[in-house]
A and B are shown apart, each in its own frame.
Chain A
Amino acid sequence: MKPMSVEPAAIDQPTRQDLALSGSWTARGIGAIEHQLESVRVASKTEAIADGARIEALDTAGAWVLQKLLLRLRGEGIVVTLRGLRPEFAKLLEVVAQHVADKTGKPAPVASQPWAALERIGRSAEAAFGQTVALLSFVGESAVAFAGSVAHPARLRWRPVLYNIRSAGFDALPIVGLLSFLLGIVVAYQSAHQLRQYGANIFVADLVGLSMLREFAPLITAIIVAGRSGSAYAAQIGTMSVTEEIDAMRALGIAPLDLLVLPKILALLIALPLLTLFADVLGVFGGMLMARAQLGIDFDEFLERFVKAVSTTAYLIGICKAPVFAAIIAIVGCFQGFRTKGGADSVGRQTTLSVVQSILLVIVADGLFSIAFSALDL
């Protein structure tokens, strides 16, 4: 067999009762005549002869097509004789014949029907509700595990905690620093023009200080960590559950929550406030640079005003949001990891979900904080 140069399959009808078959009846050769075969017509209730002597190659796909043609013609009451086929091809055709006969009348099973619009809404609502309940129960389980480890601190695994502090905290310093620095520059730059119009240049320190410390630094840090570490948690736990590592852990009597989830939550609870503090410093520094460049305010002047304008409360408000965000990110990431079922596809889907949901929940929580703080006049 020389698959490099296939002579495509061909079917001719020299007379009404003769079919001449030639060429390569293989998966690559029959594409050309697939439609032609349906239009082959022989007068019904007659005899016909199909000549297969010039078929050069026959594989299962070709045999399948040929057998279907013969079956159709015979179904129309035509007595077809196939002759001249090479013995090895005849043997193959026989095998196919058995299968085609077994299959006729039995349509292939179809995958489930696509859902109608209403059904889809219902199903996704049910799924969303189910997921919320599952998330709440996961929060509960984590809390119980956390309480257990507080009661027995010796059971806590410090090594993974430290490892996670390094990977989610220390390793994130450059990107968190860079982005909050740029954010500080942008805030100062945007406000410079407005402030100059009113001759209120020095208030740039108020603007940059309050917005960075209260809102931007905690938020940008949480979003970066959700994208960096939350997704990594979901992917790691998801892959482990696909490869049955989670099941193995349970079977060995090791609680996956203790080994995988608690260290991550603890590590983020420690790392995220520290990262936020770092983001505060770099953000204000960025604003300071821009204030000097655009508004001619020296570092000394800026810092003098900064100390007066920004109270310790404003700083603490920003920092106290960080542990809440940390808990959201770690819990959502781990939760989505545990929900992974099946294969690689599912790992990707749950990882995406973990990032989307944790960022969403972080911003919702930030909104709730704003409402709470304004009610408390902070």
Chain B
Amino acid sequence: MGRSLSDLIIFVAKRLLQLIPVLLGVIVLTFLVTHLKLTGLCNEWYPKAGQTTLENCKAKYSAPILNQFYQYFTALLQGHWGADIAGVPVYPTIAADFPATLELVLASLFLMIFIGIPLGVIAAQYSGRFGDHLVRIFYLSGWATPTYLGAVVASVFLAPYLGLPAHGEYSSTSLPFHQYTHMSILDAMIALNLPYTADAISHLILPAVVLAFINMGIATRMTRASMLEVLPLDYVKSARMKGLSDFWVLYKHALRNALITTTTVLGITAGGLLAGTVVIEEVFDWPGIGQYAYNSIGGGSSVPNFDGAVAVVIVFAIGVVVANLVADILYGLLDPRVDWR
């Protein structure tokens, strides 16, 4: 059984190596999906563009497909990700927007873990009874809520009622401190500015809660299932027989074991959380890549931006791949049965 430090390094390195073909595949697939000329590519993306834009676009995409791929691939690796129709480059915009999205997703993940997992424990504890049904209704309601519905209801109806802001990261646009990380709460904390920290937190609450509510089902469901598997085991029974309280048995002994499977939730929900940001960031005016994706695709009345859309698709896919990698490594670390070699 190999679980020494050198084995761990090999374990992580192997997974990093496995990442390469997947990332290559992601890039190739994105190229194929976005560059296939089923209809007039340029007409479809720039329906209202001027003649010169259209001519430029057509000149660029009339080359043989392999040449196009070579161009696209080398430009991608060099960080030349193109520009939108007004000439704003894509890469710097995405790089600046990414931390805000990461902040939102991490906040939702935090809520999912600290609300979704205990709910799963409660459901397993009262399996088949009222508490179980109640939890089920709760997480299925989240499941059944389209992101836009949750976001609109929260921003239009809940926000005024709760007195929470529903637009942007801060109340004021001019900040008295420098944004090092582009994560609203972290930046305010680095500047040791308490009022702005509180302001940033209050702005994050609604979008994060909506995003978490919609994606919580998987965490709750998986925790419930693993708890149901663990609860009849002998070690749980013996803990109970020792006279430990229900709380201690459930949350210390049983959940600890059940939680190992739940780490895979990280990877599974990454796609849902990231996709959710597209609509949530638009509705809550959150300055992340979700909003950038919404605008690049041509959501609402915005002008579509082909280069931006291609980049955003790749970035989202990389996000999912990395989240799966983290979940995989975490699982290996937590479960002592996994051989690292």
Question: Are A and B genuine complex partners?
Answer: no
Binding site for B on A (CB under 8 A): none
Binding site for A on B (CB under 8 A): none
